[in-house]
Chains A and B, each alone.
Chain A
Amino acid sequence: MTGGVGPAATVTPAAKPLSVVLENIVQEYPAAGGGMTRVIDQVSLRFDRPGINMLLGPSGCGKSTLLHMLGGVRPMDVSTPSAGQVLIDGVECHGPHDDAVMVFQRYANRPDLTVFDNVAFPFRLKLWKSLLPEAEWRQRVADMLKAVGLADKQGLRPAQLSGGQNQRVALARALVLRPRILLMDEPFGALDAQTREEMQGLLIELYQSRPCLVVFVTHDVTEALVLGDRVIVLSTQPARVADDFVIDEPRPRSAAWQRSRETQALEERILNQLHQASPGKGQVRVTV
C-alpha cells in the first residue's frame, strides 16, 4: 500500500478527484553486449477523469511495462522505472496499491477453485476482509457474476469454461473490488475474433454501469478505435508517445462508424505515426 492512499478510497469510488500521472518515465535494461538498452524514453502521460484510455503499440514496445508501473507490479529482478515518477493522487507509487486492479492476458484463474471462489478470492485476503462484511461481499460477487453472464456457472471450475468465459471470471474478479483504476494488459489478445468482440461489448456495458479510469494495453488498432475515449500511440525501441488523441463517438460504436471515412482516416493516421516513429520495427494488428 502506498502511503496516504487508503483502501477506503476504493470502497467509496470517486470520493476524491482522480489523478494518475506518469512523469518522464525512462526504462532501461542491461543489454546483451554490455551497456544499457533504453526501451521506454521520456514518456509522460496524465489521466484525470474516468474514461477508457488505450495504450496502442507494437508487440514488445514496452506498453505492458508502463501498465505494470501503474499497477505497482514489477518484474522481479529489474527496478522500474529507471528514471521518472509514477504518481497516483499526487503520491509516488512504489508497490502494489489497492486503487488499481489489473486484468492480464493470462487470466491466472485458479484451477482448483470454482468460478464463485475465483471471483471471491480477494475478499478472503486480510485487506478486503476487514473492509466488507461477508454477507455484503457475497452479494457483490453474485451481482458481478450476473453482470458478466456467469451466474449459472458459478459452481464450475476454470477447466470447464471456454477462454472467453475464463476471461469473464478474471474481469469479474477485478471489477468486484470496484477499483478506481482498472489496468488491462491485452486482456482479449488470446481470444478468437468473435469472442473478442463479445468481450469488448461486455467491457463497454460494465464500464457504463460503473465508470472508472481504464488503461487498456493493446496492439490491435481496431480494438483501440472501438473502445477508446482516448488513444495513445506508442512507438517502439524505444517507446515514445507518437500520438495522443480523443475519440468523441459514443459507444457502442456501430459497424457503419467503423467503416466510415473518418475512422479509416484515424486508422491511417495511427499506422503513419507508427511507421514514422519506428520504421520497420514491430507490428500492430488491424482486424476487419
Chain B
Amino acid sequence: MSEFWNPYASLAGRQRRILGVGSVLAVLLVWSVIAASGLVSSTKLPAPWEVVAALSYLSWHEGQSMLLTATLWSVGRLLVAGVLVIAIGIPVGICMGAAPRVNAALSPLVDPFRSAPVVALLPILVMWLGIGETMKIAFLFIGAVVYLIPMVRDAIQAVPQNYWIGARDLGATPWECIQRAVIPMAMPRIADAVIVAFSVMWTYITVAEYVNARQGLGQLIQNARRFSAWDQVFAGIMVIIALALATYQGMVWLKRRLYPWETQL
C-alpha cells in the first residue's frame, strides 16, 4: 500500500488485469442484483442475461444476422468519412501549421467548430443534402474534421525549431524543410489526431444514422427503442462501444509499430 499514491509506479500486468476485470464484474454483479430483485422493472432496466440473449438474437435469427449487416453498414460509412477526413483534414492542418498566414485565415473558420454543437447542424445538412448517404457521410466528416485539423496544426507547430533550422542550413528549400524535416517529425502526433477523429466518428455514428436510416447500428438502436426493446438498445450500444474500443486499440498498436521512435524523443 505504500505505493498506492505514486503515478510513476508500474503495475504488474496480472495485477492490472485482475483490477480491471474485477471492477467490470462488480458493475455486472450490482446490475444483476438490481435486475433480479425486481426493484426496477425489466422494461426500464433489462438484466445482463437479457442483453446477452438480445445480442445472440441479433447476431443470428432465422438464417440472417441483423447485427452483422448493421455493423458492416456503419463501418462502411465510418470508413468513407474517415478517408475523407484524412485526405482533406491532414493537408489542411499541415498547411495551417506550416504557414502562419494560412493559419490566420483559416483558424477563425475551423477552431470555433470544436465547441460548436455539431449535432445541431444535422437538420441543416438534411435540408441541404437530403436524407441519403451523402448527408450521413457529411455529418460524420464535419464532426471529426473540426477536431482533426487543429490537432494536425498543433502537431506541426510542436516540432522543435532546430529541425527546421538544421535542414535550412543544409540547403533545403522552405518547402523541403516542411516535407523532409517537419512533417516526418510530426507524424506520431498526426497519427494521434487520426485516432481521436475515429473515436469522435464512433460517438456520432448513431446521430448520423438517426435520420431515415434503413441500415446501420444507429438504425438498429433507433428501431429497438421504438418498440421499447431495451435489451436490444443496450446490446446495440455495447456493440458500438466494443467496435470503437477495437478501432482505438488497433490504431494505437499500428501507430506504435509505425513510429517506435516517438517515446525516445
How many whole Å from A130's CB to the nearest CB in chain B?
11
Let me know if A96 and B261 touch, CB within 8 A: no
Within 8 A of B (CB), among A143-167: 157-159
How many whole Å from A217's CB to the nearest CB in chain B?
15
Q: Please tell me the number of chain A residues within 8 Å of chain B, measured between CB atoms.
A: 29
- Does B172 belong to the interface (CB within 8 Å)? yes
For the complex, give the distance between the alpha carbons of A124 and B179 in Å. 12
Let me know if B171 and A112 touch, CB within 8 A: no
Interface segment among A54-62, A97-105, A205-213: the answer is: A97-105
Q: A73-B165, A111-B265, A159-B261 are in contact. Are A128 and B171 (CB under 8 A)?
A: yes
Kindly identify which residue among B163, B172, B264 contacts A125, using a CB–CB cutoff of 8 Å.
Answer: B172
Task: From A100, A122, A125, name the one whose CB has the most chain B CB atoms within 10 angstroms.
Answer: A125
Chain B residues whose C-beta falls within 8 Å of the C-beta of A125 in the assembled complex: 167, 170-173, 176, 180
For the complex, give the distance between the alpha carbons of A106 and B169 in Å. 14
Let me know if A126 and B162 touch, CB within 8 A: no
Nearest to B163 among chain A residues (CB) is A108
For the complex, give the distance between the alpha carbons of A126 and B168 in Å. 12
- Does A228 belong to the interface (CB within 8 Å)? no
Within 8 A of A (CB), among B232-265: 259, 261-262, 264-265
Chain A residues whose C-beta falls within 8 Å of the C-beta of B162 in the assembled complex: 104, 106, 108
Kindly identify which residue among B168, B180, B181 contacts A96, using a CB–CB cutoff of 8 Å.
Answer: B168
- Does B191 belong to the interface (CB within 8 Å)? no
How many whole Å from B53's CB to the nearest CB in chain A?
50
For B178-202 the 0/1 string (1 means CB < 8 A from A) is 0011001101000000000000000
Let me know if B261 and A112 touch, CB within 8 A: yes
Let me know if A110 and B185 touch, CB within 8 A: yes
- Does A173 belong to the interface (CB within 8 Å)? yes
Question: What class of interface size applies to chain B in its complex with A?
Answer: 20 to 34
How many whole Å from B127's CB to the nearest CB in chain A?
46
Within 8 A of B (CB), among A83-119: 96, 98, 100-102, 104, 106, 108, 110-112
Let me know if B170 and A76 touch, CB within 8 A: no
Kindly identify which residue among B169, B173, B184 contacts A102, using a CB–CB cutoff of 8 Å.
Answer: B169
Q: A125-B176, A159-B264 are in contact. Are A112 and B181 (CB under 8 A)?
A: no
How many whole Å from B264's CB to the nearest CB in chain A?
3
Let me know if B168 and A111 touch, CB within 8 A: no
Chain B residues whose C-beta falls within 8 Å of the C-beta of A110 in the assembled complex: 163, 181, 184-185
Nearest to A111 among chain B residues (CB) is B261
- What residues make up the interface of A, taking CB atoms closer than 8 Å to B? 1, 7, 71-73, 76, 96, 98, 100-102, 104, 106, 108, 110-112, 121-122, 124-128, 157-159, 173, 177
- What residues make up the interface of B, taking CB atoms closer than 8 Å to A? 160-163, 165-173, 176, 180-181, 184-185, 187, 259, 261-262, 264-265
Give the 4 A-B residue pairs with the shortest CB-CB distance, closest first: A159-B264, A127-B171, A108-B166, A111-B261
Additional pairs, 8, CB under 8 Å, beyond known A125-B170, A126-B173, A159-B264: A1-B171, A102-B166, A102-B169, A108-B162, A110-B184, A112-B185, A122-B170, A173-B170
A-B contact pairs, 26 of them (CB 8 A): A96-B168, A96-B169, A96-B171, A102-B166, A102-B169, A104-B165, A108-B162, A108-B163, A108-B165, A111-B185, A111-B261, A111-B262, A111-B264, A111-B265, A112-B184, A121-B180, A122-B170, A125-B167, A125-B172, A125-B176, A127-B173, A128-B171, A157-B261, A157-B264, A173-B170, A177-B170
